[in-house]
Structure 1
Amino acid sequence: MPTTDRTRVQIFQVSTLYGAATAAAAVDAGLFGAPGEARRLLLVSNNAEIPETAVRLETMTGYERVAARFDGVLDWNEAVHPHHPGTWAPRPEETPLWQRVLRTAWDLDDAPVELVVESIQVNPAKALAAVFAESSVHVYADGLMSYGPTRDELPQSLACRIRRVLHLDLVPGLRPLLLTEYGVGAELVPDEAFRAVLREIAGASRDSAEDAALTAAAAAAPTALLLGQYLAALGILTVEEEEDLHVRMLRGAAAVGHRSVVFKPHPTAPAGYSTALHEEAARTGVRLTVLDGPLLAETYYERCRPGLVVGCFSTAMLTAAHYFGVPVARVGTRTVLERLTPYENSNRVPLTLVDHLVPDLEGDAPPAVPDTTRAGLAPLVRAVGHCMRPSAHPGLREETAAYLAAHGSDPDLAHHFPAERLAELGLRAPARA
C-alpha cells in the first residue's frame, strides 16, 4: 500500500517474536488507532552478534500470522548493510540524507512518521529515532527490563519525543521505572489481546515443520519445562557452569516428582548444549525431550500445558505464571545476580524480580505462581533502581536510605545491595551478620 496524501505511517521496529507479538497485541487492542488510520510497517532487525548465523525472526513459527497485521515488512539489516544493526548509527550531519534514502527505499514520500521501538537506549531504535528526528516515539517493553531504570541518559531532543511505554502486565501491581525520569507514562497492553496473539502463534505451529516435534513432546506427557538462556554468551557463566545449571534444573524437577521433562535451549546456544542433561536424565530415570526448533516457549505452554516451568531469570517464567497459571521455580538466579557487572547492568532488575518472587527449586518452598502483590516488592525495585542509576532518580535517595535502614541486613534482601556499591553512593545499610 503506497503512501498517498500524507497518510500517517507507523513503523514498528522488532527483533524478537515475543516483541512482535507484544506490538501486534497493542495494535489489536486499538492502542495505535483504528484500522486504516495509518499505514503500519513492521521493521525487522536481527541484532545477534553474527546475524548471518542466528535464527531469523522470519523463520520463527507464527511469525507470518503476526506480520499479517501490518501493511508491509521492512528489513533494517538490509537497510544499513554492511554495518551491524546493533552498532551502526548515523553521524548527526548525515541524518537528513539517511531520512531521504529510507523514505525513498520504503516508499514513504513525505508522510508523517511515528516510531514504535524497543530498547530506545540502544541501536537500532536509537539510530532509527535519530534518522526520523521529527517523529514521535512510542516504546514497548520486550520483557522484564522495563521495570528497571533507563539504561543510559538520553539526549533531551529524543526524550521529549517519547510519548509512552507500552508493557505487558508481567508483574501485576508493579509500575515500570523505565523513562519515568523524563515524565513518560506507562500503558498496559491488555492481557487478553496478548493471549489471543499467543493462541494464534500456537495455532500456526500445527501447520509448521515444528508440529512433529511438538506432537512428540506432548506424547511424552511432560509435566515440566526447563528454560535455557545461554548465559555464557553474556560472559556471566562459563559453558561448563551453564551446563551444570541445566543439570540442576533437571535434578530439581525430578526431586519434586517430575519424571518427564522438556528442555528448551536458547536459540543461540551450541548444538551440543544438552549432552550433560541427557546423561543426568539417564542417571535419574527422567524422560527428557529437547525442543530446539524456532518456537516461542509460550507456544509450548499453549500446546502442552506443563505443571512446572523452571528457569534462571527468563521472562518466559513470568509469562507462564501470569498468562497460563503455571507454577514456576528458579535455579542459579542468585549466583548470576551476584556475578552481574557492572551494578547498573540492565539484567539486574529482571534478576531481582525473579529472585524475590519465584521459589528456589533447590530450597524449601515448593514451586508456585508468584504473589506479585506481596508487600515490599515495589520498594525493593525502586531501591535497586536508584542504586543502579542514582542520577536519573535522585528523588528516590531518601526512600532508598529508609529502605536500607529497615531491610539492609535482611539476608533475603541484603545481597541486592553490595557494600561496595553503597559506599560509592554514600549510602549505608545496617551491619550484616
Structure 2
Amino acid sequence: MKGSVAKEAPPDRLVIKDLTPEGHWARQPTEDEQKWLASIAKLSPEPYVLKAQLEADHEPTIEPILTRDADGWRANLYIGEIRHDGRTLVIQPRLGVETIMSWISTILNVQILPRTAEQSTGTTSAVTQLLAALWRASVLTAGQHALPRTGLKVSSNGLAVNGRLDVGATARRRASGHRDLVSTRVVRTYDNAPSRAVVLADRYFDHHLAGARWRGPRLDEQLATLRDATGSRPAKPSLHEIQRTRYSPITIKWRRAAELSWRILNKDPLGVAAEDESTHGVLIDVAELWELFVLHCAGLATEQPVRHGTTTQTSGHLARSTVNPLRTMGKLYPDVLVGEEPVTALLDAKYKRLGDWRGVDREDLYQLHAYSSTFGAPLAALAYPAMEDEEVPDFERNSPWQTSAGELSFLTLPTEKDACVAKLARWFGKGGT
C-alpha cells in the first residue's frame, strides 16, 4: 500500500567486541535481543571452544560466553561466532586481528604472514582470519622437520618375493592350485588420515579467504605435496582415524594439526543455513593465547629459568597436613614461574581490563596473594593486556603493594612482543613497574 512504512525485520546478526561493555557496542541490543543474549549466556562454551592445542597440558578456563554486570552484557574469554535460535552473535577481538596473530607468531616462533586483513571484507572475516592463523601456525610447526608420511602395507603375488613372504597367504594360494608366492611390503605414503584432514581444512580456508595471499611459500609447497598424494577432494577422515594413525617422534605434531583441522571442519560456523535453528559455532580461547604470549615474553625478558606453572609438574599447595605431610589441599598453578629454588618472581595472566571501574577482582587479588605466599616469591604480579585508549590504571601506578609474603604488582603489559619483553625486563630487574 502506497505511503505505508514497512516494518523493519529484526536483525539476525549482532557484532560485538570482547573486553567491551554493552554501552560501547556499535549498536544497542533490542529488547528481543536482550532475551536472546540471556539464553546464550546460559550455554556451556565447551562444545564450541576450538582449542589451539598449543600446549597439551593446558586446561582451558571455563567461563560463560557472556556475563552481565552494572555495565550490561560483555563478552568474556572468547572470540568467534555462535549461531543460536536463528541469529548469530559475532565476537571480534577488541585488540585487533593483527595483534592476536602476532601473539600466535610469538608463541610458536612461526612467522604468520597472511594478508587477509586488507583483502577480506564482511563481519565474519576477523573470525576466519584468526582461525586461519591458528591453523597455519599449527601446520607450519608440524612440518618443521617432516611431512605426515605413514606406512601402508601392500600385498603382491609373483614367483619372487617382493618384501616379506606371507606364509599363511602363500599356503592358501598353493592349496587353491596357484604356484605363485604372496609377499608383503610397507610403502611410505602421504595419503593418510592426517594429510586428508589438513588438505580439506586448506580447501575450507581457500573458499572463505578467496583471493587472499594467506598461506606463504613454505605452506604452499607443503600443501602441494599433500594434495598430490591425497587428491584435491579426499574423503573426510574421522577423528578416530586421525588419533589411531601411527606417528613417529618426528611426525607426532601432525596429530595436533590434523585434530585442529578436523575440529575446524566440524565446527564451521559459516556453513549453517540461516533458517537452521540449532546452536552452532566456534569460539577461540583468547585467554589461553594471552597466557602463552606472556609466558614467552617472560622467557625473553630474563636469563633465569622460566616455567609454565599451569603444567602438572609445577604446582604448589595452599595447605599441608601437619599429621601427614603427604596430604595436601588446594593445588595452585600460577601461569609463569621465574627461577628454580627459590622462585624469584611469578606472573598470572588475566585477559581482562584493569582500567575499568571494577579494578582488580577480589578473587584475583586473593589468588595472587596465595601464589606469592605458597611459592615464597618476593615478586608477584597479575598481567593484563594494555589498552591504547586508557591511562595507566591507579592500581598499577601504586604498584608494588607490600604484603607479609612479598610485593604484589598489577601490570598492564604491551600487546606487542618487544615492548612487552622490555617492560617485563624492567619489572624483573627493579622489582616494580
Scaled by the length of structure 2, what TM-score is found? 0.31
Specify which structure has the higher proportion of strand: 2
Specify which structure has the higher proportion of helix: 1
The structure with more radius of gyration:
2
